[in-house]
Structure 1
Amino acid sequence: MSFPCIDKLASRTQKLDSGPEPSYDNIVTGYELFEHKQPFLLDHGGILPHVTVAYETWGQLNAAKDNCILIHTGLSASSHAKSQPKNEKPGWWEDFIGPGCPIDTNKFFVVCTNVIGGCYGSTGPSAIDPADNERYATRFPILTIFDMVRAQFLLLDHLGIEKLHASIGSSMGGMQSIAAASLYPDRVNRLVSISACARSHPYSIALRHTQRQVLMADPNWNKGFYYKGIPPHIGMKLAREIATISYRSGPEWELRFGRKRAQEDQSPALCPDFLIETYLDHQGERFCLQYDANSLLYISKAMDMFDMSASSVQRLEQQRQKNQIKVDDILAKQDEKQREQEQQQKDANKKDDRPSLTTLSATDPATQDLIEGMKKIKMPTLVLGIQTDLLFPVWQQKEIAECLRASGNKKVTYYELDAMFGHDTFLIDRVSVGGAIKGHLESKI
């Protein structure tokens, strides 16, 4: 029996061994860079000497600077949500953003960033550590969804945007949009969360854990230090195949593939044989060299840790307060003028930092804990779920909406779509998803 799928992997390994070091700089182009040159404290105590955020914009910021919409991305997406003059390739949300589109650039100024921890321009594991001019690799500190949002709001400060018209996100982006509304309730006018959650639950954590384990089992991962050698392309391919299973739905695959085989007249093979297998194989092949493996590890772990429960939020806040002294020590070693500038920035950030929440009794149920953790989110909110979503099932969307209502938010709209595309519906269904977003953005408060 022949094994062309294994031969293909071996052939790619050989080519990568003799070729140049993979770079992600050419995969996404045309973005702008914002550099925060002061130490950036992360929730779990890590400190980045400085932070770079890649971003793109569409539309025009009005004179009042109150028409800005911040788009938060999913795990592996870049800032390129929509085509623009510096990069005319279609963006990952191409049909949702633009003149007359659900997110109408005739009315709104739209900003989308690559999250910190990513590999498309923002500071992440593949970025250079200024301490030794080597890539961070797995020396990069653990980060959270809240850390990603804080970096985005530093960008908004740089752009002179005090208040957002809306914070919008799907999947991991929905987590960020909720986190943004909680961290900066006075700076977010409207909230949109699509196919996300208020806290990660065991099923999704298990899926991402499996992806990370497969990736780290690739010998070329080398504990994260692969940048001068062969990247873990086999682990990345398999991790993506596992992820893809959770992105779409059984009904769609039954309709598209059924039990059809690629070559019905040939004997069954151990390599991809059924059409569904060839589809997963294709998705893995497309992705394995398009995204940094370490970024996948760090960002997926941040998704696992996301929890808006009051007890969880308060623990992170206490950690930040405890570790703030590390940043203070760094600042104390710099000249007086620089210290004054950084102190001003730090003081400004403290005004918008996460509010202290009431400590709940350990005997209170987890749901009450979550309700307490979401009390700061009072702005009009749209929560959108998909009935066929396996990764973030509709009960998690209901949990967001019900906890917000129980916490006192009287402006929560919940929609549930009967679409066959599963989790990826937010990328595909322009009519239903786009219509709901448009209605929420343009409604009167």
Structure 2
Amino acid sequence: MSIRRIVAAARQPIHHSSVLRISTPQPPKPSSLLFIRPKSSTSRRFHQHATRSSQQTVVTPESTNPALSFPCLDAVESRSASLSQSRRSLSGPEPSYTSGKHLDFRSREPLLLDWGGILPDFNIAYEAWGTLNKDRSNAILLHTGLSASSHAHSTEANPQPGWWEKFIGSGKPLDTDKYFVICTNVIGGCYGSTGPSSIDPANGERYATRFPILTMEDMVRAQFRLLDSLGIDTLYASVGSSMGGMQSLAAGVLFPERVRRIVSISGCARSHPYSIAMRHTQRQVLMMDPNWARGFYYDGIPPHGGMKLAREIATVTYRSGPEWEQRFGRRRADPSRPPALCPDFLIETYLDHAGEKWCLEYDPNSLLYVSKAMDLFDLGQEHRNRINKVRQENSGKLQAFKEGKGVDSTANGDVCNLTLPDQPYEEKEQPADVAAVDGKDGVGAPDSEPPPDLVAGLKPLANTPALVLGVASDILFPAWQQREIANTLKRTGNRNVTHVELGEEMSLFGHDTFLLDLENVGGAVKRFLG
């Protein structure tokens, strides 16, 4: 075989990890040297053949040590190849971003969002369990976490177990003999509700990153449009965990006259730096995936590599160190084999599996928008005043839209014009009297004074009975953040605040405790609801 044929063959697209890769960018001239890098037994045989085929070929000598293999990267390349082929052949595994059959509510009225965006109309996917009583006073609105669908419990239409299957049903914490339980997929999501993957009625194309920035309050307002359509004026309770715990508080602040009780589990009254930082890193690894394509990937290969890494980062925050010590320790998947740079320890293989399983189940753009809404969450009065001012300034835009006059999308600063600062952030010495925030002698401590701004912001909840539950092993929403909620509610004058904190002796499951602990979490909810 000639040198040119060798080079031409090596330039063909290759996806299999064991096939030769050649680093020479152009065909060699008569006096040039061709370097061929062996990568496996297959490539070494090719390398030897190339040496025999020409007197002018010079090869690199065998390395002192063999090259490592990277099955984790091979898996990513293989998935990209299969997705690319499936799109060409219109068959094979395609991301569906669905959760099964559900009910749908369509709002034909436009929705003005907090930061100035407008949804001309929107869809809410929801499911319900139990029976609504005659005076429609027994409804419980169940709010979801970041990536959950409306499928909290099995239904006739979708018999698959839901994400809170053991908590909903006859005699369960959300007792369907007493209550009519409603769960929605939030707007911005991808399980039936309007989100970035939905069609923009203005141009018939997917919104992608033309979708407007969202807030928790936007999601709640959309949910209350659904309640209006069902004729439900007042909720028996607003219940939620994690991001749902944020929404349950927001529902009470926005509609205090329509919410009779609040349950907030492993949530917060405002997002704090650690959780913001973790969600930031997830968004960054996703957006750095070349397949993300600034959000316009729907006709191509989805950014599954970035999604996998984002999920692995998230999983680190969902579970606890103590649990992982017991579950994995320092054990390796196969101690008889030499160490590898790909997943090797049991904890690494667990994270790898979690990311691999999820990377095509959820729309990447939904992850970006919904997680950003979590970052923006702040029920403090100063923030509420600022948002209310923005909404007031944009009220004319909504009216113009209703009148069919069209909307200038660049008006009122809607277009993102964020720029990075000229000077990077520099650490500054903190005053000696700055309180610690470890939950013992600082923010969230049992005897700490809550911030006046937050007390003012939660004032609408002064007369609303509330259950606030936290978990000591939670590192994403630490228990001091639930203490902050409880203390702030009490400071508003609320005399009906039940605060429960599960110590590590009761739960080692970290943030995911709300999904797993039927006895302690479910028991507290059942007692509170009555």
Q: Fold conserved (TM > 0.5)?
A: yes
| DSSP 3-state at the match of 1:15 | helix
> RMSD in angstroms over aligned alpha carbons?
1.2
Counterpart in the other structure of 1:67: 138
For structure 2, the residue ranges without an aligned partner over 5 or more in a row are 1-67, 406-448
Q: How far apart are the structure 1 equivalents of 2:171 and 2:243?
A: 26
Select which of 434, 452, 456 maps to 1:372: 456
| DSSP 3-state at the match of 1:65 | coil
Select which of 495, 504, 510 maps to 1:422: 510
Q: How far apart are the structure 2 equivalents of 1:366 and 1:394?
A: 15
Counterpart in the other structure of 1:115: 186
Counterpart in the other structure of 1:432: 520
Counterpart in the other structure of 1:187: 258
User: Deviation per CA, 1:4-31, whole angstroms, max 9, x where unpaired?
Assistant: 1110100000011121487665631111
User: Deviation per CA, 1:64-95, whole angstroms, max 9, x where unpaired?
Assistant: 10000000000000000000000000000000
Counterpart in the other structure of 1:342: none
| DSSP 3-state at the match of 2:159 | coil
Task: Show the 5 A alignment for 1:202-221.
Answer: 202-221=273-292
CA contact (8 A) 2:263 2:468 kept: yes
Counterpart in the other structure of 1:362: none
1:404 counterpart = 2:489: yes
Q: How far apart are the structure 1 equivalents of 2:325 and 2:524?
A: 28
Q: How far apart are the structure 1 equivalents of 2:181 and 2:135?
A: 15
Counterpart in the other structure of 1:103: 174
Counterpart in the other structure of 2:16: none
**TM-score, normalising length: structure 2:** 0.77
Q: How far apart are the structure 1 equivalents of 2:134 and 2:238?
A: 20
Q: How far apart are the structure 2 equivalents of 1:214 and 1:333?
A: 40
Select which of 243, 265, 273 maps to 2:336: 265
Whichever of the two has the greater Rg, that structure is 2
Is the alpha carbon distance of 1:212 and 1:366 closer, same or farther for their aligned partners in structure 2, counting shifts above 3 Å? farther
1:324 counterpart = 2:395: yes
Shift of 1:137: 0.2
Q: How far apart are the structure 1 equivalents of 2:471 and 2:450?
A: 24
| DSSP 3-state at the match of 2:244 | helix
Shift of 1:330: 1.5
Q: How far apart are the structure 2 equivalents of 1:84 and 1:226?
A: 33
Counterpart in the other structure of 2:120: 49
Counterpart in the other structure of 2:371: 300
Give 4+ residue runs of structure 1 displaced > 6 Å after superposition.
Answer: none
Q: How far apart are the structure 2 equivalents of 1:34 and 1:379?
A: 28
Counterpart in the other structure of 2:77: 10
Task: Show the 5 A alignment for 1:385-396.
Answer: 385-396=470-481
Shift of 1:261: 0.3
Shift of 1:182: 0.4
Counterpart in the other structure of 2:304: 233
Q: How far apart are the structure 1 equivalents of 2:165 and 2:236?
A: 20
Task: Show the 5 A alignment for 1:254-293.
Answer: 254-293=325-364
Select which of 469, 473, 477 maps to 1:384: 469
CA contact (8 A) 1:25 1:120 kept: no
Counterpart in the other structure of 1:352: none
CA contact (8 A) 1:247 1:389 kept: yes
Counterpart in the other structure of 2:239: 168
Which structure is higher in RCO with an 8 Å CA cutoff and minimum separation 6?
A: 1
CA contact (8 A) 2:278 2:313 kept: yes
Range that drifts further, 384-393 or 126-135: 126-135
Q: How far apart are the structure 1 equivalents of 2:323 and 2:228?
A: 43
| DSSP 3-state at the match of 1:214 | helix
Q: How far apart are the structure 2 equivalents of 1:23 and 1:70?
A: 33
Shift of 1:131: 1.1
Q: How far apart are the structure 2 equivalents of 1:292 and 1:91?
A: 19
Q: How far apart are the structure 2 equivalents of 1:312 and 1:321?
A: 14
1:314 counterpart = 2:385: yes
Task: Show the 5 A alignment for 1:355-366.
Answer: none
CA contact (8 A) 2:97 2:190 kept: no
Shift of 1:332: 2.0
Shift of 1:408: 1.3
Q: How far apart are the structure 2 equivalents of 1:151 and 1:252?
A: 38
Tell me which amino acid in the other structure corresponds to 1:181.
Answer: G
Q: How far apart are the structure 2 equivalents of 1:39 and 1:86?
A: 30
CA contact (8 A) 2:97 2:362 kept: no
Task: Show the 5 A alignment for 1:20-39.
Answer: 20=87, 25=96, 27-39=98-110
Is the alpha carbon distance of 1:201 and 1:322 closer, same or farther for their aligned partners in structure 2, counting shifts above 3 Å? same
Shift of 1:366: 8.2
Q: How far apart are the structure 1 equivalents of 2:233 and 2:515?
A: 29
User: Deviation per CA, 1:241-272, whole angstroms, max 9, x where unpaired?
Assistant: 00000000000000000000000111001110
| DSSP 3-state at the match of 2:459 | coil
Q: How far apart are the structure 2 equivalents of 1:239 and 1:82?
A: 27
Shift of 1:333: 2.9
Tell me which amino acid in the other structure corresponds to 2:520.
Answer: S
Q: How far apart are the structure 1 equivalents of 2:204 and 2:401?
A: 19
Shift of 1:203: 0.4
For structure 1, the residue ranges without an aligned partner over 5 or more in a row are 335-364
Is the alpha carbon distance of 1:23 and 1:168 closer, same or farther for their aligned partners in structure 2, counting shifts above 3 Å? farther
